């Protein structure tokens, strides 16, 4: 069993979450860090430290940053009481949602739910067959029903979501409202190597430029995934290291 986080570790975890919230709000406003610096009067260096979870800046400076983004400082610093919410892992295939999700659920002693498997239960068919027989619109309806059922059955759980769930506005809003969402982020090359290692090129079947496709998907969905309350970058890290990072952001 992992030891409880020390007071100093909890402070570092809080600063990391605060930085993630600032970055997410900046992304929502489609502001570059340079633009935010100009609007707030806070230097880019301070902003970079803040977003990296290293900026223990004064309340007055944080207030300037918040005002420049059109959000109250209270909302930025307030912790979402997500301790009793399910944890939902977002990201493309190969980000580590299943691997890390299983281990996180074991550590938290809660069920692990892979939403794609629940979609198959709803549809009575394998995932590939659902797309082939019913099409993407029907798949999204099955996905919404599966999520609603999972949320009603599991008040606490770790949920690995499908990579495209974020493209359905209604389902994604439900997930954001009811779960503590964490984006498992990785470099395109890592996504590719992990998918190949899994022996499943289903999402990219028949595409000669699979890596380019992954890059495009990440670029297209970056803003959507960025709406998660936290981000864990799994690039170049072992499962153990990524799990430790994941546990820190939900501490």
Q: What is the pLDDT of residues 200-230, one digit of tens each?
A: 655 555 455 678 888 899 999 999 999 998 9
Residue at 82 is within a domain: no
Domain containing 235 equals 87-249
| The two three-digit tokens of residue 208, written as one number | 């000669």
pLDDT digits (tens, 9 = 90+) for 158-215: 999 999 999 999 999 999 989 999 999 999 888 888 877 776 655 555 455 678 888 8
CATH number of the domain enclosing 182: 3.40.50.300
Residues 66 and 151 in one domain: no
As a whole number, the mean pLDDT across the chain is: 86
DSSP code of 167? G
Decide if 33 contacts 42 (C-beta within 8 A): no
- Which element (helix H / strand E) includes 143? helix 136-153
Non-local CB neighbours of 103 within 8 Å, separated by 6+ positions: 239, 243
Per residue in 59-72, pLDDT (tens digit) is 778 888 888 888 77
Domain CATH for 46: 1.10.260.40
My answer on whether 63 and 176 are in the same domain is no
Domain count for the chain: 2
Task: Single out the residue in 77, 101, 132 at which a domain terminates.
Answer: 77
Question: Looking at 18, 52, 77, which one is the last position of a domain?
Answer: 77
Do 60 and 116 belong together in one domain? no
**Distance between CA 130 and CA 115 in Å, rounded?**
14
250 or 89, higher pLDDT: 89
Together in a domain, 19 and 126: no
Same domain membership, residue 100 and residue 34 = no
Same domain, residue pair 115 and 53 = no
Q: Do both 56 and 100 map to the same domain?
A: no
Name residue 159's beta-bridge partners.
88, 113
**Bridge partners (DSSP) listed for residue 51:** none
In a domain? residue 237: yes
Domain check: are 105 and 145 in the same one? yes
State the pLDDT at residue 81.
52
In which region does residue 224 sit, left (phi positive, over 0), alpha (psi from -120 to 50) or beta (all else)?
alpha
Residues 152, 184, single domain; the answer is: yes
Statement to judge: residues 136 and 229 lie in one domain:
yes
- Of 25, 57, 77, which residue sits at a domain end? 77
Domain membership flag for residue 172 = yes
Residue 2 placed within a domain: no
- Say if residue 64 is in the same domain as residue 96: no
Burial grade of 211 (CB within 10 A; 0-12, 13-18, 19 or more): middle
Q: Is residue 1 in a domain?
A: no
Q: Say what the pTM is.
A: 0.66
Do both 68 and 100 map to the same domain? no
């Amino acid at each position: 069993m992992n030891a409880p986080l020390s007071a100093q570790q909890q402070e570092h975890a809080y600063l990391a979450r605060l930085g993630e919230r600032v970055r997410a709000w900046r992304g929502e406003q489609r502001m570059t860090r340079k633009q935010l610096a100009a609007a707030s009067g806070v230097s880019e260096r301070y902003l970079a430290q803040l977003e990296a979870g290293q900026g223990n800046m004064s309340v007055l400076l944080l207030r300037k940053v918040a005002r420049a983004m059109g959000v109250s400082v209270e909302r930025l610093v307030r912790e979402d009481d997500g301790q009793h919410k399910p944890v939902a892992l977002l990201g493309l295939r190969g980000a580590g949602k299943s691997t890390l999700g299983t281990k996180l659920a074991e550590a938290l002693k809660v069920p692990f739910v892979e939403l794609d498997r629940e979609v198959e239960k709803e549809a009575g068919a394998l995932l590939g067959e659902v797309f082939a027989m019913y099409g993407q619109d029907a798949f999204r309806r099955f996905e919404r029903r599966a999520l609603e059922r999972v949320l009603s059955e599991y008040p606490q759980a770790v949920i690995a979501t499908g990579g495209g769930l974020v493209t359905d506005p209604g389902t994604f809003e439900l997930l954001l409202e009811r779960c503590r969402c964490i984006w498992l982020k990785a470099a395109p090359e890592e996504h590719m190597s992990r998918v190949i290692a899994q022996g499943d090129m289903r999402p990219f079947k028949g595409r000669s430029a699979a890596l380019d496709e992954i890059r495009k998907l990440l670029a297209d969905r970056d803003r959507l995934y960025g709406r998660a309350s936290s981000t864990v970058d799994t690039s170049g890290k072992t499962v153990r290291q990524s799990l430790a990072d994941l546990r820190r952001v939900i501490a």
